[in-house]
Amino acid sequence: MTKFHCPYVDDAAVEYVYGSMDSEQATHFRAHLPVCPACQQEVEVLKGFSNFCRQRREAPFAEIPWRKSFAIIAPPRSWLRRFPVWVPAAAVVLLLVAIGILVFSGYHEQVNDPNHQARIATAPPVEPGILGSPKHVPEMDSPVTLDVKLSGNILVGATKPKYQADAANRSPKDSRKMIAWSSQQTLEALPGASAEIELADASQVSLAQGARINLLAAGSNGDTLRLLQGSMACKITPRSSNRPFTVEAGPAQVVVKGTKFAVRLVSQDEVVVELSEGVVVVGYLQNGGKIDLKAGQEAILKRDLPIEIRDLDPKRSGLMASFEEKSSTKMASSRAGKGHPTPVPAVSQPLPQMESPHPAVEVDSPSGKDKGKGVTEDSHQDFLQDDWVFQMLRSDIDRGKYQDVLVRLDGYLADPESPNRSEAQFLKAMCQDKAGMPSQAIEAYRRYLELWPQGDRADKAKDALQRLEVNGN
Amino acid sequence: MAFVRTMAQTDRLGTVSWVKTPQERLSSDEEQALLQACKRQEASAWMRLYLTHRGSVQKMLFRVLGPVNEMEDLVQAVFMRVHGGLDRFNGRSRLVTWICGIATHVALEYIRKRKRLGISEDHTIEMHPSPQADPSEQLQQKRVMTRFQESLHKLAEDKRMAFVLHDLMEVPGPEIAFMLNVPEATVRTRLFHARKELARRMAKFHGEGEP
């Protein structure tokens, strides 16, 4: 069929043949037809087709013979069949939703019930005279809160010693949002890591490893922290005199109006304060005597003795410098590289250089930046000597957090340089045993006995293995 | 719903014979009465409903799908849906329109299922040519019909349905719109494109077939 060109709309022929045009349009098209071969051809084809269809319509319908004839009898419908299908389905869904709401609300209330919350631990008991800290802190009549940002690996705990530590209260490694730090909570930098606290006015407090502080006051009259253990460094944004930043430590008190300083609690009777910038007022809590400490000076406060002031010796490694030395620890590269969440606390960036005039204090998250860097010998040794992490893991096991513990132990065991692998292996077996994973527990106990046949836990491992095997697992 | 009995309707020689479906037209009152009786689950009412509309359903399915082996099953599927959904029939259309609307959906599902399974459609027409035609004419008619069926099946399902219902079954446009649950303008558009496409295919066939 030859295709001719026609200025008319190509579809006009269809409308014309099937009577879809109004009379005026049809008149125009009829006048157009004699002069347009394309439309003539189109109309001819369509008319032929239309006739064909009419013949099909009128032709006797070649009905397929029914080889079967079905008679339908509808049995009486049950009462359920009176409803559309979606009604009972919707009823079931609603019932399940209601059950879910009831169950969840009960669980939620249980979780949010303060008496039922995860218990907060006291810090490991510290021998008095070394880095003594009071085990019991006088409770505030009414708790206050201070908005802070936490970074590093900080344990957020309660001041009441009866509560046990809950790993869930540990701040996330990259917590960049403000949280309300309550006077009922202590903040503690975990062993092997320092931690930073940033206040709403950009004042910064750095805690050395193992340092512990709590909040005494916050508000329009100023903010007061108490150093319970260890050492801390502060960079305080200048503030008005009626709203000072105060640190109490042992017998001493440091009132800050905007400066950079460090405080070390040597013992409950001795405190050292180093000032790198600004002016602070230091004194004793009891007798009220206070003096102004100037930049470049350090104050030594010993109970019942006069305050000793001396200049900071630039050659001597001061408190600020010691922060940097001790806190320059990094995560084990193998742990981070294998992608296992590790039981070893992450390590933050080194504390800022407090002696420089206006250092940019870096409170970066350690979560991403420190991966891939090795653990220094110092932090490793610290970890070796401190089995507090394993105590915490056992505590988690007692709470039924098996999967969390197993993940951390797997990461720890995956590192061949991990020091206390025997303890970790035994703990893993015990955790699997309690978690109801008998075959895995048997394998783990056997592994322990294979590697450490004379280990401290060998007898216990043998007993557990025998028990599991006797039970048929 | 249960099937009570089966009957064979082939003649003694086992050949196909012309069987005309009883085209019993019901008045609106009769249709209402039948409808109510069916809702009361009266077996005889259901029997009458089935026998009255079976032919229309089969004709529509045949026009759309061609001679498929599962024709009886498809008709059965239509009436099973009619039985299950009769309570929802609100009388906005005639009963036959509603039933044929169900049949269109059954046909569309069948087409889509065959496409999904990659089964090609059988375009062979069981021709029942008039006894007066000579063999060559009968052959030519068969060729034309086969080509027509092929062209029809090449149409998109929605256009195919609109064309079959309107041009082959003379179902009015508003009723087609109700069956297919689309606006009337959509039905006109689909019809327009279906006619145009089919006409060209048939014209091309005739052009190829000319000696």
Q: In this complex, do B6 and A68 lie within 8 Å of one another by their Cβ atoms?
A: yes
Q: In this complex, do A77 and B88 lie within 8 Å of one another by their Cβ atoms?
A: no
Cβ contact A231:A182 at 8 Å: no
Cβ contact A247:A227 at 8 Å: yes
Cβ contact A25:A31 at 8 Å: no
Q: In this complex, do A67 and B72 lie within 8 Å of one another by their Cβ atoms?
A: yes
User: What pLDDT score was predicted for residue A176?
Assistant: 56
Q: Which residues of A touch B7 (CB under 8 A)?
A: 68-69
For the cut 90, the answer to whether the pLDDT of residue A95 exceeds it is yes
Q: Which residues of B touch A16 (CB under 8 A)?
A: none
Higher pLDDT, A132 or A219: A219
DSSP tag of A60: P
User: What pLDDT score was predicted for residue B122?
Assistant: 55
Of A68, A69, A63, A57, nearest to B21 by C-alpha is A63
Question: How close A2 gets to chain B, by Cα (Å)?
Answer: 10
Q: Which residues of A touch B56 (CB under 8 A)?
A: none
How many beta-carbon contacts under 8 Å exist across A and B?
122
Residue type (1 letter), A241: S
User: What pLDDT score was predicted for residue A445?
Assistant: 94
Nearest CA in chain A to B200: A45
Of A407, A405, A409, A336, nearest to A367 by C-alpha is A336
Which tokens belong to A203? 């004042």
User: What pLDDT score was predicted for residue B21?
Assistant: 40
Which tokens belong to A42? 């189109």
Higher pLDDT, B3 or A33: A33
CA A78 – CA A81 distance, rounded (Å) = 5
CA A303 – CA A251 distance, rounded (Å) = 6
> In degrees rounded to 5, what are phi and psi of residue A209?
-55, 130
Q: In this complex, do A11 and B192 lie within 8 Å of one another by their Cβ atoms?
A: yes
CA A260 – CA A355 distance, rounded (Å) = 8
DSSP tag of A131: S
Higher pLDDT, B3 or A190: A190
CB burial class (10 A; 0-12, 13-18, 19+) of residue B153?
middle
Percentage of residues in chain B having pLDDT higher than 90: 6
- What is the pLDDT confidence band of residue A289, given thresholds at 50, 70 and 90? low
- What is the pLDDT confidence band of residue A96, given thresholds at 50, 70 and 90? very high
User: What pLDDT score was predicted for residue B35?
Assistant: 85
Q: In this complex, do B168 and A57 lie within 8 Å of one another by their Cβ atoms?
A: yes
DSSP tag of B87: G
Q: In this complex, do B167 and A71 lie within 8 Å of one another by their Cβ atoms?
A: no
* Segment among A192-206, A377-391, B37-51, B177-191 with least mean pLDDT: A377-391
Question: How close B18 gets to chain A, by Cα (Å)?
Answer: 7
Best of A61, A77, A85 to disrupt the B interface (most B CBs within 10 Å) is A61
List the A223-229 sheet strands across, edge first: A154-158, A185-189, A212-217, A223-229, A245-249, A252-256, A279-284, A290-294
- pLDDT tens-digit map of A148-185: 888 777 777 655 443 333 444 445 444 456 788 888 78
Q: Which residues of A touch B20 (CB under 8 A)?
A: 60-61, 63
User: What pLDDT score was predicted for residue A64?
Assistant: 54
CB burial class (10 A; 0-12, 13-18, 19+) of residue A270?
middle
Question: How close A18 gets to chain B, by Cα (Å)?
Answer: 9
Q: Looking at the partner chain, which of A18, A46, A56 has a beta carbon nearest the beta carbon of B168?
A: A56
* Segment among A180-184, A368-372, B40-44, B130-134 with least mean pLDDT: A368-372
Of B117, B62, B104, B97, nearest to B173 by C-alpha is B97
Q: Which residues of B touch A61 (CB under 8 A)?
A: 20-21, 55, 59, 62
For the cut 90, the answer to whether the pLDDT of residue A449 exceeds it is yes
> In degrees rounded to 5, what are phi and psi of residue B8?
-95, 135
User: What pLDDT score was predicted for residue A288?
Assistant: 59
Query: Could you tell me the pTM of the whole model?
Result: 0.38
Cβ neighbour number for residue A219 with a 10 Å cutoff = 11
Percentage of residues in chain A having pLDDT higher than 70: 61
* Segment among A77-81, A162-166, A432-436 with least mean pLDDT: A162-166
Q: In this complex, do B199 and A14 lie within 8 Å of one another by their Cβ atoms?
A: yes
Per-position b or e across A416-446, b if 16+ CB within 10 A of its CB: eebeebbbbbbbbbbbbbebebbebbbebbe
B173 in contact with A, Cβ within 8 Å = no
CA A375 – CA A381 distance, rounded (Å) = 10
For the cut 60, the answer to whether the pLDDT of residue A341 exceeds it is no
B128 in contact with A, Cβ within 8 Å = yes
Average pLDDT of the residues in B134-157: 82
- What is the pLDDT confidence band of residue B86, given thresholds at 50, 70 and 90? confident
For the cut 80, the answer to whether the pLDDT of residue A402 exceeds it is yes
> Can you list the pairs that A248-253 forms with residues at least 24 positions away whose Cβ atoms lie under 8 Å?
A248/A216, A248/A224, A248/A285, A250/A301, A250/A303, A251/A284, A251/A285, A251/A286, A251/A301, A251/A302, A251/A303, A252/A282, A252/A283, A252/A284, A252/A285, A252/A301, A253/A282, A253/A283, A253/A284, A253/A285, A253/A290
Higher pLDDT, B64 or A342: B64
SS3 A226: strand
For the cut 60, the answer to whether the pLDDT of residue A433 exceeds it is yes
Question: How close B28 gets to chain A, by Cα (Å)?
Answer: 23
Q: Which residues of A touch B87 (CB under 8 A)?
A: 84
For the cut 70, the answer to whether the pLDDT of residue A317 exceeds it is no
Of B32, B178, B23, nearest to B99 by C-alpha is B178
DSSP tag of A328: -
Cβ contact A151:A365 at 8 Å: yes
User: What pLDDT score was predicted for residue B40?
Assistant: 82
Average pLDDT of the residues in A340-368: 36
For the cut 70, the answer to whether the pLDDT of residue A57 exceeds it is yes
Higher pLDDT, A99 or B9: A99
For the cut 60, the answer to whether the pLDDT of residue B68 exceeds it is yes
SS3 A166: coil
Average pLDDT of the residues in A74-102: 76
CA B168 – CA B182 distance, rounded (Å) = 19
Point out which residues pair with B114 in neighbouring strands. none
B62 in contact with A, Cβ within 8 Å = yes
Residues in contact with A161: Cβ distance below 8 Å, sequence separation at least 6, in sequence order: A122, A135, A136
Q: In this complex, do B3 and A18 lie within 8 Å of one another by their Cβ atoms?
A: no
CA B162 – CA B151 distance, rounded (Å) = 15
Average pLDDT of the residues in A265-293: 80
For the cut 90, the answer to whether the pLDDT of residue A461 exceeds it is yes
Q: Which residues of A touch B79 (CB under 8 A)?
A: 72
Average pLDDT of the residues in B20-36: 67
Average pLDDT of the residues in A298-323: 72
Residue type (1 letter), A137: V
Residues in contact with A234: Cβ distance below 8 Å, sequence separation at least 6, in sequence order: A203, A204, A205, A206, A245, A247, A256, A259, A260, A261, A262, A263
For the cut 50, the answer to whether the pLDDT of residue B18 exceeds it is no
* Segment among A220-234, A387-401, B101-115 with least mean pLDDT: A387-401
For the cut 80, the answer to whether the pLDDT of residue A227 exceeds it is yes
Percentage of residues in chain A having pLDDT higher than 90: 9
Higher pLDDT, A214 or A71: A214
Residues in contact with A307: Cβ distance below 8 Å, sequence separation at least 6, in sequence order: A282, A283, A284, A289, A291, A299, A300, A301
Per-position b or e across A315-349, b if 16+ CB within 10 A of its CB: eeebbbbbbbebbebbbbbbbbeeebebbbbbbbb
User: What pLDDT score was predicted for residue A359?
Assistant: 34
For the cut 80, the answer to whether the pLDDT of residue A428 exceeds it is yes
User: What pLDDT score was predicted for residue A465?
Assistant: 92
Of B126, B116, B125, nearest to B152 by C-alpha is B125
CA B100 – CA A424 distance, rounded (Å) = 74
Nearest CA in chain A to B76: A70
DSSP structure string for A405-428: HHHHHHHHHH-TT-TTHHHHHHHH
User: What pLDDT score was predicted for residue A209?
Assistant: 77
Tell me the C-alpha to C-alpha distance, in Å, between residue A452 and each of A1, A411, A420, A458.
93, 20, 12, 7
In this prediction the ipTM stands at 0.71
Question: How close B87 gets to chain A, by Cα (Å)?
Answer: 9
- What is the pLDDT confidence band of residue A442, given thresholds at 50, 70 and 90? very high
Residue type (1 letter), B80: M
Q: Which residues of A touch B144 (CB under 8 A)?
A: 52
